[in-house]
């Protein structure tokens, strides 16, 4: 069951780029964007990460942080973050966070079904509640849309 607007965000704690750890408890009292992406250093995921990087200054001025999440292992995530100079944490979900948020879903390609990451974004308010959900994200214009919603949080 996917997390919906108004729900309390599921608890999480994950290793992240730059030797960081990201957790819901660590974000307590601060709004943040949690976005799930399929695979580091692929074209769509790179465009999405770079768009969030570009929006980071403006998001920072309104006190909103960004965390990217994939099932990639830390070495691939670190290479991705370094290659594109990503300042926000990219987390490695090895503990079922995507499942808790409902973004680890059955997909199909060429008649084969498999489990994979659905590109989705969650805006979490300072109380840990889901303020906005973007399922099945299309990358162009998405970071700007998230920025507008974050500004509306107040």
> What is d(CA 149, CA 154) in angstroms, rounded to the nearest whole number?
10
| Tens of pLDDT, residues 118-148 | 999 999 999 999 999 999 999 999 999 999 9
Specify the pairing of strand 112-117 against strand 20-23. unpaired
Q: What pLDDT sits at residue 114?
A: 86
Classify domain 13-153 by CATH number. 3.40.30.10
The catalytic residue among 15, 45, 66, 81 is 45
Query: pLDDT at residue 80 above 80?
Result: yes
Percent of the chain's residues with pLDDT above 90: 91
Contacts of 135 (CB under 8 A, 6+ apart): 2, 118, 120
Cβ atoms within 10 A of the Cβ of 7, count? 15
Domain boundaries, the chain: 13-153
Name the pTM for this structure. 0.95
| Among 50-54, 71-75, 108-112, the least confident range | 108-112
| Over residues 32-40, mean pLDDT | 96
Encode burial over 40-67: b for 16+ CB neighbours within 10 A, e otherwise: beeeebbebbebbbebbeebeeeebbbb
Q: Is 45 a catalytic residue?
A: yes
Query: pLDDT at residue 1 above 70?
Result: no
| Tens of pLDDT, residues 102-119 | 999 988 889 999 898 999
> What is d(CA 111, CA 36) in angstroms, rounded to the nearest whole number?
24
């Amino acid at each position: 069951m996917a997390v919906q607007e108004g729900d309390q965000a599921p608890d999480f704690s994950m290793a992240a780029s730059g030797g960081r750890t990201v957790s819901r408890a660590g974000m307590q009292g601060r709004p943040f964007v949690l976005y799930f992406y399929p695979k580091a250093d692929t074209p769509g995921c790179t465009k999405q990460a770079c768009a969030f990087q570009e929006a980071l200054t403006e998001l920072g001025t309104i006190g909103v942080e960004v965390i990217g999440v994939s099932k990639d292992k830390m070495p691939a995530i670190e290479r991705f973050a370094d290659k594109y100079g990503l300042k926000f944490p990219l987390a490695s979900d090895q503990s079922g966070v995507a499942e808790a948020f409902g973004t680890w879903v059955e997909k199909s390609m060429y008649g084969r079904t498999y489990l994979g990451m659905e590109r989705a974004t969650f805006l979490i308010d300072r109380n840990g509640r889901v303020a906005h959900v973007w399922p099945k994200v299309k990358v162009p214009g998405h970071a700007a849309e998230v920025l507008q919603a974050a500004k509306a949080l107040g």
